[in-house]
Amino acid sequence: MKIEVNAIGAGGRVRAGKSLPRLSGFPEPWLKLRAGSKIAVPEDQGFTLMELIATMAIMLILAGAALPIMRVHAQRVRELELRRNLREIRSAIDRYKDMADRGMIPTEANTFNYPPDLETLVNGVPLKGASSAKYKFLRRIPNDPMTGRPDWGKRSMQDDPDSRSWGGEDVFDVFSQSNGTAMDGTRYSDW
């Protein structure tokens, strides 16, 4: 089957009557030229300017709605990581206290059997009765996700419960040094 299409002549005018073999897979007629036109323009293909503007407007609205959701999600992830890191350090302090109370590791008298600093939990303490064996409570000091550093606020047994300064005698508790507020309205440093 042959399809008759219009073709552009030497002077840029449309000439009719040129026959081409039918191409499979294309609707019939697959290309029409407008009389007097210099350019072959397929019918019903492409997008109009209004369609493109409407599509871009919808995309901008969706992106604008997704951005706050992503911010909330990122903050929620950091808060979960903060809770997990605080729990990890506090459980290491509790394990140290438990071993010191049972007499398995040597301690100083004025520390109430709490570690002298966080580095002791990472470096390890020698076990009583063992020549070179050390027990390590943490692999590393985790980062505070709110500040991005492994700097934690510390409280000793001798400090006030709401104190923000560390007395330096022992490490009874840790807290975030961030001044930020959590999604539930509490301060990160109060966790």
Ordered by start, the domain boundaries in the chain are 1-45, 49-190
pLDDT by residue (tens digit) across 65-105?
888 888 899 999 999 999 999 999 999 999 999 999 988 88
- Angle (nearest 5°) at CA 41 between 37 and 46: 145
Q: Report residue 152 as tokens.
A: 């934690």
Query: Within 13 A of 159's CA, how many CA atoms are on the CB side?
Result: 18
In whole angstroms, give the CA distance from residue 8 to residue 63: 45
Contact 180, 146 (CB under 8 A): yes
* Chain centre to alpha carbon of residue 11: 62
pLDDT band at 133 (very low <50, low <70, confident <90, very high): confident
Overall pTM > 0.95: no
Residue 190: what pLDDT? 85
